[in-house]
Amino acid sequence: MPQPAAPTTAPELILFNGVIYTGEGLAEDKPVTVQAIAIGDGKVLAVGTTAAITRLAARKTRLLNLRSAAFVFPGFNDAHTHMGSAGRTKLNVDLTGVKSLADMLAKVQTFANAAPAGHWLTGGNWDHTLWEQKTLPTRQDLDQVTGAHPTFLGRIDGHIAIANSAALKAAGITGKTIPPQGGAIDLDPTGQPTGILRESAQGLVDKVIPPPSHDERRRGDELAIADALSHGITSVQDFSDWDDFLVYEEMEKEGKLNLRITEWLPFKAPLNELIKMRAHHDANDPMLHTGFLKGLNTRSRSSTKWPSSAPAPASSWASTPSETRQPPWPSTRLKRPNSRNKPRPSLNTFLAALPASPTKSGTKNFPAPGTTLRRTRLLLRAS
């Protein structure tokens, strides 16, 4: 192996006598490992043999002997996170891994008994597919243990949530409520809500839940970041509230942000707001910056309500030929970049190229109701 050139920055830390995986050689199925690594100013300065790298040490360099027993691996990247909601789940009812409906209700009851009167119970991460009886919970199940607390608990995939009767009442949801486009309200055989809300219908309850205070949001974000780091995740592509991004920014200014975060921006936000968000923070900041647009476009159904007798899909709708409709405009395609070196279409270019459907007021809107769309993560840059 060639001798590493002396770095211009003195190493702050040198790890040596280890098995250090560089990430090279994956395509050939011959991963490259080295004995030592020099780190400084938040960067890898050099890798090589123990003898070559330890010679780079300065007076203040910390030397750590791995004694041939430790394996060093680059940090993981999580390409799709919701750090804000994950943190708030940890502050509220965390149902991750519960093995049955009974276990779920027991955890909810414990939290309800300790919560102040009228406090909303939120959180979730339940997964009924782990249960022996793979049946979705109902509002009546929650009503048994939540008392007067409005309760809204999301499933682990985020596509479904369960509300108790108090939460449905607060949101004004009845058997006659028409769900928003892309959403569904499960009904029982009598035509009343079961408590299961799907996709965009969850927003009917979300909008009446009191927002977290700044301190609550900060505590939740700190918990989510700490959890990511504890599992070896050192960078994420995140889609959280803008207020969460402002918390990350606050943490970075205090020197307390130890996770690299690329924050997606909401596709549905007005263009002038997206431009302001993009300009708010240095796009070249390696620790924190905004990234792509993120949108979830779900298939609409011929029926706007999902009967409780229908089988529960794994995540979202199960599309059949009778449920799809042709878009009212000619097909418009944007070539997906096949190389990181090729420029991506700008946000303005994309919006200008997208056909629009007229509305009653004469303005333009997209997409038109009833359009079948695929879930898409658009790789766009702000111009």
- Please report, for the chain, the start and end positions of each structural domain, with discontinuous segments joined by +: 13-74, 81-206, 214-294
CATH of domain 81-206: 3.10.310.70
CATH of domain 214-294: 3.40.50
Cα torsion through 374, 378, 280, 356, rounded to 10 = -70
Let me know if 290 is exposed, middle or buried by CB neighbors in 10 A (0-12, 13-18, 19+).
Answer: buried
Break the chain down into helix, strand, coil percent, rounded to 5. 25, 25, 50
Cα torsion through 77, 83, 89, 95, rounded to 10 = -20
Q: Which CATH architecture has domain 13-74?
A: Roll (2.30)
pTM of the predicted model as reported, rounded to 2 decimal places: 0.66
277 HSE (CA, 13 A, CB side):
26
Nearest partner of 196 among 141, 251, 237, 265, judged by Cα: 141
Nearest partner of 75 among 235, 226, 224, judged by Cα: 235
Contact indicator for 16, 36 with CB cutoff of 8 Å = yes
Q: What is the pLDDT of residue 323?
A: 32
Summarised one tens digit per residue, pLDDT across range 187-224 is 999 999 999 999 999 999 999 999 999 999 999 999 99
Largest CA distance in the chain: 78
Q: What is the pLDDT of residue 200?
A: 93
The ranges of the chain with pLDDT < 70 are 1-7, 296-383
CA distances from 271 to 256, 268, 275, 295, 369 (A): 32, 9, 6, 14, 21
Q: Side by side, which strands form the sheet with 33-34? A: 33-34, 19-21, 71-72
Summarised one tens digit per residue, pLDDT across range 245-254 is 999 999 999 9
Round to whole Å and give the CA distance between 196 and 187: 8
